[in-house]
Amino acid sequence: MTQIAIVTISDRASRGEYEDLAGPAIERWLRRVLVEPPDFVRRVVPDGLESVRDVLIELCDQADIDLILTTGGTGPSQRDLTPEAMQQVIAKELPGFGELMRQASLQHVRTAILSRQTAGVRGRSLIINLPGKPSSIDVCLGAVFPAVPYCLELIGAGSIIVDSSVFQQHD
């Protein structure tokens, strides 16, 4: 069975001071678009280079997760280091994911140009960085997800089937 990890990156949520809203929004979105629900793995980690890097390596190398969706840590603030952690983890960057997410977000939010989300591959795991704002989840996942099943196939990861009534995936 395909495994999908959802990693919320937030100092406040990791300390229990703030309810994680983005992680559950991602899971709801996936349950709506996938034909068969995967096994979900959830993590909440603080912002920062080491915390993000270490959880991504663990999920890829030890847990054999097929798809990892992170939320948070992609802005310009000093503690937002998710893209920097990604650079230390991935073997191949897939910059088109970030480009398309920003383009789609700009139709809704003028400050989307400040977001630094990206995607990449480590072994048989695809990692996609999403913004931390729950309202951005639908926009960003809706933009890039048609390519995700094919990307998972190309890297030898577990397969997922998208409900064709929601949107078309790669031909």
When pLDDT is averaged across residues 135-156 and rounded to a whole number, the result is: 96
165 — pLDDT class (breaks 50, 70, 90): confident
Q: Would you say residue 83 lies in a domain?
A: yes
CATH number at residue 139: 3.40.980.10
Q: Would you say residue 52 lies in a domain?
A: yes
Amino acid at 5: A
- pLDDT of res. 169: 54
Range of 48's domain? 3-155
Q: Would you say residue 16 lies in a domain?
A: yes
Predicted model pTM: 0.95
Q: Would you say residue 139 lies in a domain?
A: yes
Residue 24 CB coordination number (10 Å): 15
Closest CA to 136 of 102, 90, 89: 102
**pLDDT, the chain, mean:** 94
In this model, does residue 119 exceed pLDDT 80? yes
Total domains in the fold of the chain: 1
166 — pLDDT class (breaks 50, 70, 90): confident
- pLDDT of res. 118: 95
Q: Are strands 119-122 and 92-93 parallel, antiparallel or unpaired?
A: antiparallel
Q: Would you say residue 21 lies in a domain?
A: yes
Contact 119, 97 (CB under 8 A): yes
Q: Would you say residue 138 lies in a domain?
A: yes
Q: Are strands 39-45 and 125-130 parallel, antiparallel or unpaired?
A: unpaired
Q: Would you say residue 170 lies in a domain?
A: no
Q: Would you say residue 70 lies in a domain?
A: yes
In this model, does residue 153 exceed pLDDT 80? yes
| Residue in the block written with tokens 């650079």 | 87
Structure tokens given for 69: 């969706």
